[in-house]
Every structure is written in structure tokens, then in C-alpha cells.
Amino acid sequence: MEYRILGPLEVVRDGVPIAIKGRHQPRLLAMLLLEAGQTVTLSRLVDVLWDEEPPETARRQAQNYMAALRRTLGTSNPIEVVGEGYRFAAGDSFVDSVRFEELNHLARHDAREGRHAKALPSFDEALGLWRGPTLAGLSARWLESRSRRLDDLRLGMIEDRAASLLELGRHADVVGELAELLAEKPYRQQAARHLMLALYRCGRGAEALEVFGALRTRLAEELGIDPNPMVRELHGRILREDASLAVPRPEMSIVAAKPEILVPAQLPAGVATFTGRDEELAELDRLFDSGAAVTVLSAISGGGGVGKTALAVHWSRNRTERFPDGQLYVNLRGFDHNEPLKPIDALSRFLRALGTPSAKIPAETEEASALFRSVMNGRNMLVVLDNARTAEQVRPLLPGGQDNAVLVTSRNRLASLAALNDAKLMALDVLSLTESLELLAELIGADRVNADPDSARRLVELCGHLPLALRIAAASLAARSDGSISNLASELDSVSRLEILSIEGDPYSAVTATFDLSVGALSIEARDLFLRLGMIPGEDIAEGLAVEVSGHQEDRAKDLLQGLVSAHLLETHVPGRYRFHDLVRIYAHRCAIDKLSSSICESIIDTLVAWYFQNRGRISPDEIPNVVTTCKLLNKHPEMWRVAYTLSMITHHGLGLKVARDQCEIALRIAEVYNDRHGQARMLSALGGIQYALGETELSIELSRKSVATIDPNVDSRTYGDLCNNLGIRLSWSGRYREAEEWLVKSLQPGYMAEGVHFELVRVLNLGTVYRALGRYGDALAYLDRSAALLSKLESRSIAASIYLARALLENDRGRHRKAWAYAQEALLAGQQCKSVRSIVIALQQRGLAEFGCGKIERAREDYLASTVRANEHGMSTVERRNYCFLADLECFAGDNSRAVKYLESAAAVEVLQPPRYLVAEMLRVDSNVRLKLNAYRHAVSTGRKAAALFASMPDPLRHARSLVIVARAYEGLADYNKAADARQEALAIFTRLGVPETAVLRAEIDAHS
């Protein structure tokens, strides 16, 4: 877990922000973080929450808010209860303020000891933790005073860092930062003093004097004081042009002390427009400062053109003072139109540069390598090995000695250097959006970028944020008469993008030429897989699909995939999924079309279609964009319906439903053209599911019935069974439980069962859910147990979430709310893991229902509202309406009738095109309950009887009985005691048969009225 207060309060778990909601919880967490490791008493917490004007219940409220905060942080939360106080025990958690103070201590200690170069990385890392003022956006007197302490430490660190840079002779590096600091904090005299000295050393003495004059005037007019003696003393020395103000001499002058030692300076010229890469440059500083013998720089997301050499040379040229005995450089030509450079040739160049006569250089690699290590021993040098192909090419070139360092660039990962030579691997990605725009501004001028920012953003995105592509695009703009960014972006947004990203007369500089070198270095099998993957549409590729199209056994296919990752032609952005860089994807597809036979291309597409359909029950919602893309590209394929059917199964409520509907309708028409009754039936069933999710309940059932009628069970029994299951579950969704039971039982007949545990599990789970609604709790439990046993043979978090939800529903109906809460919690976790919005929304709903049953009203309200917000965001109108019904029930129980009415009105306002019967009945039941609380007894009787009749027709005995109880209480309000007694007795008979706790409650109510 990461806790950040150097800026707005943030809590991050595994890269995902955790929302700390409300007004009080953020204050509590902020206080504990500011006092990390110390016990904060309850009375101090109260003072922070209410600024010393607490309500009478402040202590209890503070404890409640703290309990809620600990729940939000999860089971691993670091907040400990210590007596009547609390302590934040960081443990393994990262707290940015704690790390900042550690670095502050280290940096200032090194600076005091004169180790300014060593202090700089600590200064930089510490200042890099800041995202804005401490706890920006939080207000409380105590928090503000503590925050000011950290803010003042930051300002002091900026000044101390500037002092170290001045001691190192890097005066030009501090001018801009100190000027900004003075503009923000105009009374900082130390900052003004450092800025004056930096300007003077830059040859800008007049400006240094202006800084002093402005400071003196400001202090006199606004504070009535003079600058301090140190500032005044520096002012006098500047006026006298004191020679002692000159740049300090370097601490080391090895070259002068050892004139006999040659000092090579072989680094190539850097790129004048080098931009960004601040994190990577800082990481290189940390790696070399750590004393690592070898550092390997490797690139990802396309490899070629990502800027490996530019970064290596830029860092090296700006760090030459670290290596006073010189810098060696060689292009190993690992990926080049010429043959890779042999190690013996590179060694010969290095040895000659170090003063070894050619006649004394051994001809054998091993001997030359040994001599190189001997010559390098005792020196402090940097060796840059650019464009390496393999670790074997690099290893003979590694120097001896403790003070030398090696920087390697390669399109391959060179993992064996890390394993055998203790190399530190760094992966270089493409530029960020900000860095891309900065580079474009450097290349063509900031005025042109600022004049058309939208087109500039579009241009860098079409270049895939690849530095090489951006530089070629900038060169193209310079060569055009109109120089329009918009026009170039429009041209790039076409099938000829790769052709445009080239420079006339220089074919080797083209983006495609760079990719050619990477692909050309692959083995035959790896190259074939690269081309096959180029045929797969979409943003990324599931590992199972990649294995399937490879034509190899799984282990071999995975080895080949890893080889493509190591060559930076693929990346694994999440476990089990691969993707190309944008431009590499276009390149791979073009190469596949050019180099694979038409029969192989058709075979790959057929494999893709078959794989999607065969795995339709196991594909995650993450696959939706890829399946949609595949559908659109295959809109004339005779079996497009297989992909469209898969899309309908993974499209959750509100996530691409209309897109899925459109694709299924196209697929249905294609199936009709080819007279494919199987495809027609599948599409009708898929459309039935989608229409239900869109609120078209009756149309959903009509399409589902039509799908079953399209299939001959004697010809295609397994598909028939699948469609029977689909019809059954949609009937249950609409509240037609008896008919649903018939179709689901039929789907489970042996002759209609499809192969695979998944299909049996889903049907068993669906039938268990229907038995729960019918009040057959024993049967429901048996089928849910059976589904759980089948789940042990699968690895599916989405199905696990569905099973936990079904159990939560069952236990809530049975009145076993603690068990229901546990199941709802498991469903919520499983839903979050598989990113199932529907599972998350209903899990929150059922957890709220369980909390309501346990008497935890406030927590139930929070969960209901959280579920309602998400349901609204994702178009889950039926769930949203039902949540408002639950909220109205809760407020009736809590005695807040006005809120209950508000929630009832909100439920009615949710647009549901064709509300299912159970939802109509639920609205009537809740309306009756609210009217009862408002003493509108006749209205309550009328709507309550309608609800009871509708629930009885489904049948849903539990809610039938609950409606009768409300009707009985309304009759009693009308003084019609006979009808009240009849309704209670009818409800009692149902409760008794179901065996629910409400039996005892109602019996006591009857006894009280007898």
C-alpha cells in the first residue's frame, strides 16, 4: 500500500487508487500519517475533526469514522488501536512523507560532509515525491500547521540542493528553479543569495544585482527590515568582482596527475532536442551510484526507434565528471544492415584508444579480453556498448576494476547479463503524451504546437509516441510548403501511415526499416509467429489465442512468445495478455498479408473464430473491445455469429450492449443468407439476452422462444439444451419461475448437455436460483452446492462471483443475514478481480440487505447507495430501481417517512422500458409499505393486494407473504380486524412452510392482537 500526503491525500493499492470518502475519514487518515508511528489520542482526533468545537457525541462519532476508515483500507490496514488512541504502523507500506524526511536527512548529511555529488540523488528523489502543497484540499487548523512544517522543509531542501549544485559548478542548473521559488516565496533570503551567486557565475552579474535590489526593496517596504548579513556580504563581493566567487575547481584532477594515461572521449554527439526521460535519467543515476558493475538499458514497446541510444548518450555526456579517466563507445551493430561487430574488433578499438600498440593486441578474443580488463583495472571509466544483439557479444567487453561502469543498449532484454553478471535491467518505453508534445515543440517550435494543440496531440498519438516516428513527422512538416500539423495528422490516420513515416532519399531512417531489422534477427519460428499474430485484430491478444494460432504445442508457443517479448516486438502489459506497439501492429499486419499465403491467412481467421466460440464462457470483459473489432472486420464471414455470440456472453449490463446488439443483428442476417439454422438460433438467443439487459423484457422472451423453436433437438441436441437454459433463465429474470423451472430442468437432461464442466455448472446454478425464488430452499441449497463442487474443476472468478451471489440471495431470503453478508463479501471480491460490473453492483446490494437484516442501518444505507450509483453509471436500470425500493424499505424502518417517499419517487423515475413482473410487484409492495407508514391505509391495502397477487402468480412465496403482512397492518389501520387476521394467517402459513425467522415475528404479532 502507498500513502501519499505530499500533495492531495492519496491511497494506492497495487497501482489502483482507493477512495477515502466523506468529510471526516480523510482528516483522520491525514492526522495519523502526519504522526506516523506515534499514538494519537481520541481527544486529539476529536479536536482535528471539529476544530475544538465538537458535538456531544464526538468521541463515539470519531470511533465510528475510524472504524469505517479501517474497513475502507481493507484487512491489511496499518491502523492499530492503542488504548483509547490509534497509531499508524507503516510496516511494509510506503508513506511519502516518511520517505521524504529520511532522504532529507541523508542528503543534508552528505552535503554537510562535502559529498555534494552523492547528496544530489537523495535531494532529487525527495523533491520528486511532491505533487503539490501538503494535504492540498484538506482543511483543519492542526492539519494546516503540521502541513506547513513539511512545506517549509521542501523549500529548505530546494535551497540546499541549489547549494550543492553550486559547489559542483552547475550554476546554470539552478537559475530557473530558484527564480520560480522566489516568485512563489519572495522573502526567502537564502534562495535569493543562491540565485545571485548562480547568475554571477553565468556571466549575468547585472541580473544578480537586480535580484538583490528587488529583495532589499521588498523587505524594506513590506517588513521594514534589511537583507541579512550573508546576502549583503555576497552583494558587496559581486560589486567588487571578487575572484573567489569563481566556479569551484573539481575535487579530482586525475588527468593532470597522470599525463601518461590517455583519456578517451569517444561519446558521439548528443541530440540537441533531447526531451523528457526524467525518471529514466534519475534511475540511471541511482543505478550507477549504487556501485553496480554493469547496467543494461533495454527497450520495450517496439524496440527500434524508442530512443535507447539517445538516452544513453545524453546521460553519459552529462555525467562525464563521474568518469575522469574517460569514456569508451562502440556501436556493436547488433541490429544493422551490416553484420554485427565481433567482440575481438571492438576490443581492438578499445585497446588502441587506451594506448596499446596494434602489434601488442592479441588476435584471440579471450586473450584480448583479458588484456582489456588488465588495462582498465584501476581506472574510473564509462564504457557504452550501443546496439548489442546478444549477451555473448557483450560479455568479453566488460572491464575489470571496481570503479568502471558499463552502459549497454539493445533491442533484446539480455536477461542473462543480469543473471550472470549482476547487470541492472532497465526497460525503456515510448514517450508519455506530455513528453511527446514537448519533443514535437522542440522540433518544430512551440508556437506551432500551441497554435493547434488538438492536431498536435492527434499527431503524436498517431506516431505512437515513438521518438523516431515523431522526428520523421517533424522532418516531414519542415519539408512541406503548408507545414500544417492537421493535414499531416489526417494523412497519417490512414492505411499508408508507415509509408508516410519515412524520409525521402534515406530509406534506412524509415520506421519500417527499423522494424525490419528487429524482425530479421528472429528465428524462423519466431518470425512466423510474429506474422500470424499480425493477422489477429484488436488492441491485445490473449495468451490462449496466441498459442492456438501459433500451430505449436503450448510450451513451445509460450517460449516463442517470450522471445518476441525479449526482442521488444511484443509486450505483456498484464499477465496472460500480449500487445504490439501501435505502429508495430500496423507493420505486423502488413507483413502478414504480404508474406503469408492466402490459405494460411484464412486458416488463422478460422482459428480465431473457433477459439472465441469455444472459450465463450471463459473470456473476460477485458476482451470486449477485441471481440467488437473482430466482429466488425468479419462482417461478411459466414460464421461471424460465433464471434457475435461470444460478444453477447461477455457484454455485461451497460458495457457495450447496443454495440453487441448491432453486431448480433448483422450476424443474424449473414446466418439467414447462408441458411445456417444453428447460427440463426444462436443469434436469436443472444439478442434475447441483450434485449433483457436493455429493459425489453417481453421482447427478450419472445426472441428466446424463437431461438429454441429454430433448432431441431434431434439434429443438434447440445445447442438445443443451451438455448433451453437461456430461455429458462430469462423467464426467471421476468418472474415466471414455474415455466423457468421446466426449461432449466429440460436443459439438464443428459441428451441436451454440452461437453465441458462450465455448461453444466451454469445450468445447475440457474436452476438453484429459480428454486430459491420458488421457496424450495432445500432444493436450492443442493443445486448451489453442486455448482460449487463443479467450480472446483474450473478457474473462473466470474462464475465464482455468480455462485457467491446466489448463496447471498438464498441466505438473505432465509433470514441468515450473517452468512449472507459473508457470501456477498466474497462475491464483491471475486467481481472486482474479474472486473464484472454486474457482480459488484449486486454484491453491494446483497451486502446492504444483509446489514439491514443485522440491524446495521447506516452501513446498509451506504452499500445500497454505492450499488445504486454504479447501477446508474452502467445503465443497469432494473437493479437501480430495485435498490431504491430497498432504500425506501430501510427508511420506513428507520422512521424517516419523507426519505422513504423520496426513494419511492426515485424508483419510479428510473426508466425501465418493460419492467419484469418481479420488479412491478416489488414496486407495489414498497409503495404499500410507504403508504402504511403515512397512514394512507386504503392506498396501502390496494397496492399491497396487487403486489401479493402478482407475487403469487410467479410464484414467489416469500414476497407474497411479506406483502400480505403489510396488507394486514393496513386493514388494522382501517379497523377491519377480520380481514387483517385473515391476511396474517395466510402469511403465517407461507412463512411456516418456508421455515424463515419471520414466522416467529408474525406469530408474536398475531398473539398480540388476539
pLDDT tens digits, 43-66: 777 877 776 567 878 788 888 888
User: Residue 412 and residue 419: Cα distance in Å, rounded?
Assistant: 15
Quick one: 137 and 207 in the same domain? no
Quick one: 471 and 405 in the same domain? no
Task: State the pLDDT at residue 553.
Answer: 93
Task: State the pLDDT at residue 881.
Answer: 94
Strands 85-88 and 79-82: antiparallel
Report for 518-522, 656-660, 719-723, 861-865: range of highest mean pLDDT: 861-865
Quick one: 123 and 15 in the same domain? yes
- Starting at the edge strand that comes first in sequence, how are the strands of the sheet with 327-331 ordered? 327-331, 382-388, 405-410, 294-299, 423-428
Please compute the mean of the pLDDT values over residues 853-859 and round it to a whole number.
94
Quick one: 398 and 471 in the same domain? no
- For 186-199, the pLDDT digits (tens) are 888 889 999 999 88
User: Residue 945 and residue 941: Cα distance in Å, rounded?
Assistant: 6
- For 873-886, the pLDDT digits (tens) are 887 888 999 999 99
Cell output for 286 = 541511482
Quick one: 406 and 356 in the same domain? yes
For cell 475519514, the residue is 25
The domain that holds 344 is classified in CATH as 3.40.50.300
User: Residue 81 and residue 997: Cα distance in Å, rounded?
Assistant: 37
Report for 403-407, 487-491, 876-880, 920-924: range of highest mean pLDDT: 920-924
Report for 44-58, 128-142, 453-467, 499-513: range of highest mean pLDDT: 453-467
User: Residue 847 and residue 828: Cα distance in Å, rounded?
Assistant: 9
Domain assignment present for 51: yes
Question: Residue 477's domain spans which residues?
Answer: 433-509
pLDDT at residue 386 is higher than 50: yes
DSSP string, 710-727: HS-TTT-HHHHHHHHHHH
Nearest CA-CA partner of 926 in 905, 956, 911: 905
Please compute the mean of the pLDDT values over residues 846-859 and round it to a whole number.
95
Please, are residues 890 and 860 in contact by the beta-carbon 8 Å criterion? yes
- Look at 447-451, 666-670, 784-788 and tell me which has the smallest mean pLDDT: 447-451
Of 461, 479, 509, the residue at which a domain comes to its end is: 509
User: Residue 144 and residue 165: Cα distance in Å, rounded?
Assistant: 32
Domain assignment present for 52: yes
Q: With 0-12 CB in 10 A as exposed, 13-18 as middle and 19+ as buried, what is 479?
A: exposed
661 Cβ partners below 8 Å, 6+ apart?
Answer: 687, 690, 691, 694
625 Cβ partners below 8 Å, 6+ apart?
Answer: 538, 539
Task: State the pLDDT at residue 296.
Answer: 39
Please compute the mean of the pLDDT values over residues 940-948 and round it to a whole number.
96
User: Residue 225 and residue 477: Cα distance in Å, rounded?
Assistant: 56
Quick one: 455 and 414 in the same domain? no
Quick one: 315 and 346 in the same domain? yes
Of 374, 395, 428, the residue at which a domain comes to its end is: 428
Domain assignment present for 113: yes
917 Cβ partners below 8 Å, 6+ apart?
Answer: 734, 735, 736, 950, 953, 954
Task: State the pLDDT at residue 653.
Answer: 44
Nearest CA-CA partner of 976 in 1008, 1004, 918, 937: 937
Quick one: 158 and 190 in the same domain? no
| Average pLDDT over the chain, rounded to an integer | 85
Task: State the pLDDT at residue 504.
Answer: 64
Quick one: 383 and 467 in the same domain? no
- C-beta neighbour count of 296 within 10 angstroms: 27
Cell output for 895 = 422512521
Task: State the pLDDT at residue 293.
Answer: 43
Q: How confident is the model at residue 139 (pLDDT cuts 50, 70, 90)?
A: confident
Report for 62-71, 84-93, 917-926: range of highest mean pLDDT: 917-926
Strands 423-428 and 294-299: parallel
Quick one: 234 and 148 in the same domain? no
Between 785 and 647, residue with greater pLDDT:
785
Report for 190-204, 317-331, 935-949: range of highest mean pLDDT: 935-949
pLDDT at residue 869 is higher than 90: yes
pLDDT at residue 507 is higher than 70: no
Of 153, 168, 183, the residue at which a domain comes to its end is: 168
Residue 567: helix, strand or coil by DSSP?
A: coil
Report for 24-33, 158-167, 422-431, 897-906: range of highest mean pLDDT: 897-906
- For 743-776, the pLDDT digits (tens) are 999 999 887 776 667 788 989 999 999 999 999 9
DSSP lists the bridge partners of residue 574 as 577
**In degrees rounded to 5, what are phi and psi of residue 576?**
80, 5
Please, are residues 871 and 883 in contact by the beta-carbon 8 Å criterion? yes
Quick one: 407 and 322 in the same domain? yes
Q: With 0-12 CB in 10 A as exposed, 13-18 as middle and 19+ as buried, what is 61?
A: middle
Domain assignment present for 93: yes
Distance of alpha carbon 469 from its chain centroid, rounded?
27
Domain assignment present for 394: yes
Task: State the pLDDT at residue 753.
Answer: 72
Distance of alpha carbon 338 from its chain centroid, rounded?
42
The domain that holds 157 is classified in CATH as 1.10.10.10
- Look at 291-295, 366-370, 463-467, 838-842 and tell me which has the smallest mean pLDDT: 291-295
pLDDT at residue 506 is higher than 70: no
The domain that holds 192 is classified in CATH as 1.25.40.10
- For 252-278, the pLDDT digits (tens) are 333 333 334 567 888 887 777 788 888
- For 227-252, the pLDDT digits (tens) are 888 888 888 888 877 777 776 654 43
**In degrees rounded to 5, what are phi and psi of residue 446?**
-65, -30
Please compute the mean of the pLDDT values over residues 786-803 and round it to a whole number.
88
Task: State the pLDDT at residue 465.
Answer: 86
Domain assignment present for 446: yes
Quick one: 20 and 158 in the same domain? yes
Number of domains within the chain: 5
- Starting at the edge strand that comes first in sequence, how are the strands of the sheet with 10-13 ordered? 16-17, 10-13, 2-4, 94-95
pLDDT at residue 637 is higher than 70: yes
pLDDT at residue 102 is higher than 90: no
Q: How confident is the model at residue 444 (pLDDT cuts 50, 70, 90)?
A: confident
Domain assignment present for 104: yes
DSSP string, 534-548: TT--SS-EEHHHHHH
Strand (E) or helix (H) holding 80:
strand 79-82
Task: State the pLDDT at residue 145.
Answer: 67
Domain assignment present for 678: no
Task: State the pLDDT at residue 96.
Answer: 87
